Amino acid sequence: MRKKAFKAESKRLLDLMINSIYTHREIFLREIISNASDAIDKLCYLSLTDDKVGLSRDDFQITLTLDKDNGTLTVSDNGIGMSDTELENNLGVIANSGSLKFRQELDEAAQSETDIIGQFGVGFYSAFMVADHITVVTKKYGEEQAWRWESSGVDGYTVEPCEKDTVGTDVIMHIKADGEEKDEFSRYLREYTIRELVKKYSDYIRFPIRMRMPHSVKKEGTPDDKPEYETVYELETLNSMVPLWQRKKSEVSKEEYDKFYQERFGEFAPPQSVITVSAEGAVTYKALLFIPSKMPGFYGTDEFQPGLQLYSSGVMIMDKCADLLTEPFNFVRGVVESPDLSLNISRELLQHDRQLKIICSNLEKKIKAELERMLRDEREEYEKFYRNFGRQLKISAINEYGARKEQLQDLLLFYSSSEKKLVTLGEYADRMKPDQKYIYYVPGDNVDAIDRMPQTELLKDHEMEILYFTDRPDEFVADMFRTYRDKPFRSAVDGDLELPGEEKKEETGDYQEDFAFIKETLGDKVTEVKASTRLKTHPVCLSSGQGITFEMEKYFTAVQPDLGMKAQRILEINVDHPAFVTLRTTRITDPEKAKKYAQILYNQALLIAGLPIDDPSGYTDLLCSLWK
Ligand code: ADP
């Protein structure tokens, strides 16, 4: 029998498959099984209108057979089968199939070929990644003659008539011998590996995938105290067929969702929240999403890969489709299935896929709605969520110049001085006094430290609620948002607090000479010395005026010390404080001593702001020198 050559393009693809160094060779099984499932789909569809098919929905199945002696794995289906011309057209050339698209993609991305395999359907030829010889025995529905197609790879294939009783196709793959290569091929001849692969990639194929599985049972007649065991094989269905996301939420128990989440995503804890979506219209899809109760591994690092599992007609096409999630909600895990997406679609194409974009934006709305619901109805749960992922929301709110402000502003929480708990900006705004101009906040390391800051005293005296910004991004959020419900944010440590009924102290007393004296003493260390409007019992504080704040300075010093980012230092003085009153009189009687007082006040202000003092031992000496 004459061997026929593969068409040139098939040859190249085959070559690639045979010599593939790709580590995800195991996806070949997914490909062969999904072909079998498609073939069954076709016959199943015919059977609806054609009584002669003689099979009902329940009769269709895919059978996997391992022949360890001969080293073969066979995938059999009782689907539509192929005629000899179809065999030629389908397996001899890359027809108008996924493989063709794959080829085109490959040309475009010649350099990264190994990267694209496995991202999408690569079709029948992928079997050559694990098999050195493939036999396809097939009988088409409605035809008498069966056909055998055989190939050992690039040098061609043969097609000849053969015997086969039933309609359908057997794909017999002779598995390669183990070699030096990374992949151990013999594992594809083990029942447990095959079962695992079916579970992983084809669990939700809508027809049963069956295989004889070994079980160890006690040999009959052997005594209980000296039992002997033997291995018996039983036909088992490996796949669960009806995916959880295809079922109504009301029909699935919490335990089922929890178990699914834990098994599928390898999580120990159950999810915090489950979101189900069933959409019909512009795009038909179902989604099952989970908000994790713990941060996923690597979350917040470059190694973390966000994305949802993407299925099309029961077949997983991508494990982590990042294009389905937007930045603020990149921690969400789950599955999306849409029959509208082709299995044979590459990652590059997906990015431009209009349907994918529609799904992504719908999912974003659903996730947001679920978070709003939690915030409204399950506050504690929301706070738990927020501890894990609040920072992601804030960072997303800052990114892209605050483009997501509207979307995210009502999901953010900040600690409130008066409520002593986390509050939303909306709650703050609702409580604002009629004459209150600003949303006041204070940045600092933690709640206790901020609570003790002198700058908060006067605001508290006026019963003004203050938001404590203890997380680094908080200040940047206020900076980016500028306002919430038209009320500007104002840092209690900078600028005028403009408290209702407070007159400006600078204008009421004449301290200019004292301030000039202090400024002269401190030199460049401070940009300005002025009377404070925010101090009550403490003598001094620092404010930073325009530009970066002290918290930002601390942040930049920690992450990019070379930049030398420094906030301005404005020394604010409580002119009613005895320390300042003493300095004033000492300036006249003993200017040298007054200079020491000025230095001490400045250093105290640094300490209060949590900033390092320039010369700690000099400062100690200075203090001690006054004890004489
Ligand atoms: P794709 O599945 O993307 O079309 P493949 O290379 O996997 O590409 O398969 C090529 C064609 O071969 C299929 O479109 C189908 O017509 C045919 N085929 C493959 N496997 C089977 C099967 N088990 N039964 C019937 N036809 C099959």
User: Per-residue DSSP letters for 379-396?
Assistant: HHHHHHHHHHHHHHHHHH
Tens digit of pLDDT for each residue in 383-430?
A: 999 999 999 999 999 998 899 999 999 999 999 999 999 999 999 999
208 and 256 both lie in a single domain: no
Q: How many CB atoms lie within 10 A of CB 268?
A: 7
Location of structure tokens 């969702």: 257
User: What's the pTM value of the predicted model, to 2 decimals?
Assistant: 0.69
Q: Tell me, what's the pLDDT at 70?
A: 96
**For residue 261, how many other CB atoms are within 10 A of its CB?**
22
H or E stretch including 277? strand 273-279
Whether residue 254 lies inside any domain: the answer is yes
DSSP labels, 178-189: P-SSSS-GGGGG
93 & 225 share domain: yes
Going 564 to 567 to 570 to 572, the CA torsion angle's sign is negative
**Amino acid occupying residue 100:** L
Cα–Cα distance measured from residue 428 to residue 422, given in angstroms and rounded to the nearest whole number: 10
* Residue 168 resides in a domain: yes
Among protein residues, the one with the nearest Cα to ligand 1's atom 16 is 90
Tokens of 119: 């991202």
Half-sphere CA count of 418, side-chain side, radius 13 A = 14
* Phi-psi region at 54: left, alpha or beta (left = phi > 0; alpha = psi -120 to 50): left
Express each pLDDT in 8-48 by its tens digit. 666 766 776 666 555 578 888 988 998 999 899 888 878 87
| Pocket flag, ligand 1, residue 71 (CB < 6 Å) | no
- Residue 251 sits in a domain whose CATH number is 3.30.230.80
How far apart are the C-alpha atoms of 470 and 417, rounded to whole Å? Answer: 12
Residue 123, ligand 1, Cβ within 6 A: yes
Verify whether ligand 1 is closer than 6 Å to residue 90 (CB atom): yes
pLDDT of residue 324: 94
Residues 493 and 448 in one domain: yes
CA distance 211 to 397: 51
- Helix or strand holding residue 136 (H, E): strand 131-139
Distance from CA of residue 7 to its chain's centroid? 42
Distance 80 CA to ligand 1 centre (A): 11
Whether residue 186 is found in the same domain as residue 334: no
Examine the domain organization and report whether 63 and 98 are in the same domain. Answer: yes
Residue 201 confidence (pLDDT): 84
**Which one of 203, 237, 271 terminates a domain?**
237
CA of 80, closest atom in ligand 1: 25
**Total H helices, total E strands in the chain:** 21, 22
Does residue 476 lie within any of the structural domains? yes
Residues 147 and 20 in one domain: yes
Does residue 401 fall inside a structural domain?
A: no
Ligand 1, atom 19: closest residue by C-alpha = 35
Q: Let me know: does 457 contact 608? Beta carbons within 8 Å.
A: no
- Say if residue 425 is in the same domain as residue 312: no
Domain identity same for 57 and 197: yes
Q: Which of 38, 136, 159, 315 to mutate to test the pocket of ligand 1 (most atoms within 8 A of CB)?
A: 38
User: Which stretches of the chain drop beneath a pLDDT of 70?
Assistant: 1-2, 8-10, 12-13, 16-23, 92-122, 180-183, 314-316, 342-352, 501-509, 628
- Assess whether 354 and 455 both reside in one domain: no
The number of distinct structural domains making up the chain is 4
Cα distances (angstroms) measured from residue 142 to each of 53, 76, 162: 9, 18, 16
Residues 79 and 116 in one domain: yes
Residue 416: give the domain boundaries. Answer: 412-503
Phi and psi torsions of 292, nearest 5° = -65, 150
Ligand 1 center to 106 CA (angstroms): 20
